[in-house]
Amino acid sequence: MTPVTTPAVMSARATINAYIELTKPRIALMIVLIAAAGFALGSRDGIDFSRLFHALFGIALLSGGIAALNQYIEREHDCFMPRTASRPLPSKRLTAFAASTFGVSLTALGIIYLAIFVNPLTALLGTATAIGYVLIYTPLKTKTSLSTVIGAFPGAVPPLIGWAAATGRVPLVAWALFAIQFLWQFPHFLAIAWMYKDEYESAGIRMLPVVERQGVATAQQSIIYALLLIPVSLLPTLLGLTGMIYFYGALALGLFYLWASVRTGFDSSRTQARKLLLASVIYLPLLFALMVFDTTR
């Protein structure tokens, strides 16, 4: 008799696809692009393309490894959510052992690659991100809604790690990029949590809208973080990294993101939460693109 945990026999192509899916390639791409922006912004004397390639490759490996380990840890919760039930582990296309081995290998490879081909600081930041995301944030998701706050720390590392890869240092202005990405995540993830609160509840994940079902605290926190993001997003100009085009562009984008957040105060619908999510995915790439475009270095 075949054990239920054994995946169905799949073609080599389908297996490879399942492993690729396990790395969450779309999220990895966004992380790599933001890290590339951090690298470009940190490169005072022109971009070293060889180092950039090594940095992005190492970061992509690390990102894929962390995503795989995250799905390994959450494999049972993912079965309860329609949004995640078709992932490689809940759909039994890969075994837990295969996913965990793949995740650990990719994460370790990413860290070692960054240490050898980029610099030790980048590898150190990568290690801290992996520990923070996999060992602290992911297990806390079923324990407390504050896991979102904790997860925002490793989630904000991409621009910082890009800067560290370029320079081997993380000055105040690099921390400003970290702060921007840190604050941006709150309206973004709270919108997702509001949209899927019933699924999260079924899976036992304690997101804020799950424990505070009227959504007052969710809207309150979305608005306050979007509000604070406006002055923080202006820091790159105050710190001499970008010019006034960025300054006014960031101000306009910040007001747009704040307005989308404020609308969730008036309107508790899922549609409105989706609009906030859309605003968030427009905001961040545009902000970093503007930063790279209007850099003063």
- Using CB under 8 A as the binding rule, whether residue 258 contacts other proteins is answered as no
Residue choice 115, 128, 217, 292 for contact with other proteins (CB under 8 A): 217
- Using CB under 8 A as the binding rule, whether residue 201 contacts other proteins is answered as yes
- Using CB under 8 A as the binding rule, whether residue 204 contacts other proteins is answered as no
What is the token pair recorded at 228? 């604070």
- Using CB under 8 A as the binding rule, whether residue 244 contacts other proteins is answered as no
Stretch that binds other proteins, among 29-37, 111-119, 158-166, 215-223 (CB under 8 A): 215-223
Residue choice 117, 131, 212, 256 for contact with other proteins (CB under 8 A): 212
Residue choice 176, 250, 273, 287 for contact with other proteins (CB under 8 A): 176
- Using CB under 8 A as the binding rule, whether residue 112 contacts other proteins is answered as no
| Interatomic CA distance for residues 251 and 244, integer angstroms | 10
| Interatomic CA distance for residues 28 and 39, integer angstroms | 16
Residue choice 23, 84, 119, 145 for contact with other proteins (CB under 8 A): 145
CA-based nearest residue to 157, from 123, 186, 182: 182
C-alpha separations of 210 from 91, 177, 223 in Å: 25, 30, 18
With beta carbons less than 8 A apart as the criterion, state whether 140 and 148 touch.
no
| Interatomic CA distance for residues 122 and 210, integer angstroms | 36
Backbone angles phi, psi at 295, to 5 degrees: -70, 140
- Using CB under 8 A as the binding rule, whether residue 38 contacts other proteins is answered as no
- Using CB under 8 A as the binding rule, whether residue 211 contacts other proteins is answered as yes
Residue choice 22, 34, 195, 219 for contact with other proteins (CB under 8 A): 219
| Interatomic CA distance for residues 274 and 194, integer angstroms | 9
- For other proteins, the closer of residues 64 and 159 by Cβ is 159
| Interatomic CA distance for residues 146 and 127, integer angstroms | 22
With beta carbons less than 8 A apart as the criterion, state whether 210 and 190 touch.
no
170's torsion region: left (phi>0), alpha (psi -120 to 50) or beta? Answer: beta
DSSP class per residue in 200-229: HHHTT---HHHHSTT-HHHHHHHHHHHHHH
Residue choice 113, 196, 225, 283 for contact with other proteins (CB under 8 A): 225
What is the token pair recorded at 39? 């690298």
What is the token pair recorded at 16? 């490879």
- Using CB under 8 A as the binding rule, whether residue 14 contacts other proteins is answered as no
- For other proteins, the closer of residues 54 and 77 by Cβ is 77
Q: How far is the CB of 219 from other proteins (least distance, A)?
A: 5
Residue choice 36, 164, 223, 250 for contact with other proteins (CB under 8 A): 223
Residue choice 120, 204, 240, 285 for contact with other proteins (CB under 8 A): 240
Give the footprint of other proteins on this chain (CB under 8 A): 144-146, 149, 172, 175-176, 179, 182-183, 198, 201, 206, 208, 211-217, 219-221, 223-225, 228, 231-232, 235, 238-240, 265-268
